[in-house]
Chain A
Amino acid sequence: MRQFFPVEELARDERFHKITMRDRMEDARAGRGIPNADQRRRATSRLTPERRDASDAARALMHGIFVGEIQALEGAGRTCWDFPVGDTGSDRAPFALKLDMARQCWDEARHVEISVKLAQWMGTEIGQYAENTVLFEAACSPDPVLRLAGVNRALEGLAIDVFTTMKEFGDMAGDPFLEFCEDWMLADEVTHVKMGSDWLRRLTEHDPERRTRALEFQSVVDKLFSYGGLRSESDQSAIGLARRFREMAGFTTTEIDDVAAVSQEALDEAKARREQLRVQTAS
């Protein structure tokens, strides 16, 4: 079986349509959303049932979770296989780390099944929305520590934020299935992020340069996934930052503050871009 599998060759049937982060950023309309009457009325952009587009927005987000779970499964599986067993060296992975990744595969496979059932429940078809493959791309690094930083800490960290928001959405809407499923998946995500935090610290304990590279990579992925102001502590973002669960997952307060700052920066950039475009359109 081949090692280091390219993102372009991920197996999908005809229902799926893959796009990359570049495709998304090259869409000239990105950030041009001029608020409609409903958005102007609202005091917050947070995904709550009070939003007029709440049901469709929740369905789209749930589909994003679904394809993310598939890629997380593929990524963790690759990390089990791509590296020879070894306790030292940036091209090796300890056997215990591989066991953790195998356990994560088990969790992600279960999450895929849960997500399919939730999609049916919410009236969404598999492949109804484009699949952004950036999660798997973050899982293609030749250094397992960078994979753990980019996938387990940044992307699974984002998953903690998303699941928390969706769980609250289900609670407010009175949807028992959504609330229950998100709560269970959230518990697993906290474990996955903690695995990332623990292994990052353990494997880079005597290699500060490697740790710095990993944290920089994590920051890049965090910024990428905050693109457009999707997630931040501001009510102007659809998804909030779940501080408590991040603490449980091994993030220090400083690290959470850093993620909050990167997210706020992305939101401010998006707002500035929108304002600039609004002025251009008006003139």
Chain B
Amino acid sequence: MTVTVSPEEFTLVLFDAAALKTTLSDLMTRLGMSERALRVEVDETTPIVRISVQDGDPIVLAAGSGAFEDPRVPRHQSEVHIVTNAGRPLLRLRDRNDGSFADAPVDDNLSLAQLAAWDAYCAGRLGRLGYPVHEQRWRYNFRNRHGFTDVADAAFDRLWTADRLTWAEVDGISEGAGS
């Protein structure tokens, strides 16, 4: 597997490209994507938490520096944030590539409710890969999009604990949760 990080040296933030590469290499391995090449392009001029992924050879992950930043210590990178913010789009890409999410809208066209449902499904799986994820954060996000109800909480639990869902199932759970 090849992971490249651009830029190799950061000037506006105190990021370490080598450490970033190590963290993302480990993430790719745990996601079962170690045969794929990954290029990470960090825009260090913006503190915005923004990240997008484009399939290809290599896979291109474009991120604002805020996506990898430690909100506790501004301008420093956070392993947890790197994994949480890179892991979800990479998992969405993996889901799409196995065919079971072929009918899912492209990322930019996902509704807020659909995205919250897919995020819950991704974050739950990241947790089971051994990464620290804060369940309540994702439950709160899901509730904001589906309502603060027992029905929505039960739907979140289904997504959070699932390992193999199709897009039809994720979308169906989201719709049934009251979105």
What residues of chain A have their CB less than 8 Å away from a CB belonging to chain B? 17, 19, 23-24, 27-30, 32-34, 36-37, 49-50, 52-56, 58-60, 120-125, 127-130, 173-176, 277, 281
Contacts and interface: CB of A to CB of B under 8 A. Distances in A.
Q: Which 3 A-B pairs have the closest CB atoms?
A: A123-B137, A123-B136, A55-B141
A19 B76 CA distance: 13
A29 B145 CA distance: 31
Contacts of A174: 147-148
B72 A36 contact: no
A129 B50 contact: no
Interface in B29-54: 44-50
A30 B74 contact: no
A176 B138 CA distance: 18
Given A55-B141, A122-B137, A123-B137, A29 B65 contact: yes
Contacts of A32: 45-47
Contacts of B44: 29
Given A54-B144, A173-B144, A27 B136 contact: no
B112 A60 contact: no
A262 B44 CA distance: 30
Given A34-B45, A121-B140, 12 more contacts: A24-B74, A29-B45, A29-B46, A32-B46, A33-B64, A49-B112, A122-B136, A122-B140, A123-B137, A129-B71, A129-B72, A174-B147
A268 to B, nearest CB: 20
B61 to A, nearest CB: 15
Contacts, number: 86
Given A27-B74, A27-B75, A128-B71, A56 B49 contact: yes
Interface string B115-159: 100000000000000000011111111011101100000000000
A29 B148 contact: no
B165 interface: no
Contacts of A27: 47, 74-75
11 contacts: A17-B72, A27-B47, A29-B44, A29-B47, A36-B50, A59-B137, A120-B136, A128-B71, A129-B71, A129-B72, A173-B148
Contact of B74 (A121, A122, A130): A130
Given A29-B45, A30-B47, A59 B13 contact: no
B45 A55 contact: no
A120 B135 CA distance: 11
B112 A130 contact: no
A17 B73 contact: yes
Given A52-B115, A54-B144, A55-B141, A128 B136 contact: no
